[in-house]
Amino acid sequence: MSNFANPIISAKINGSVNLGEVKDFYPLEAGTEVSGKLTSSITIDGPAMTPTAIKASGSMEFQDVTLKSASAAAPLQHLPRFDDV
């Protein structure tokens, strides 16, 4: 790493998450349910202390995602695909 005052972030993220398993690794608020799948392929590059200069590209796809919360009037469903983040 160089330039500790403003380090460069460089990351490539490819993966998928079964959102229904989140509760097995992270405690959710009582009454919260999450299901579906998130698949992503994202590249991030730029100076950490200058967020507006960070370049990001890629896509995130949500498949059959549902988020229910005890405090929400209706569940969040059918999230779209995000291209060119």
Q: What is the DSSP letter of 31?
A: T
Q: For residue 40, give both structure tokens.
A: 């992503």
Q: Give 31-47 pLDDT, tens digit per residue.
A: 899 999 999 999 999 99
The pTM of the full predicted model, rounded to 2 decimals, is: 0.65
Nearest to 85 by CA among 52, 37, 41: 41
Nearest to 70 by CA among 29, 16, 10, 21: 29
Q: Can you tell me the mean pLDDT for 6-16? A: 92
Q: Of the ranges 12-21, 57-66, 74-83, which one carries the lowest mean pLDDT score?
A: 74-83
The pLDDT score that the predictor gives to residue 85 is 47
Q: Give 53-78 pLDDT, tens digit per residue.
A: 999 999 988 888 888 888 887 877 77
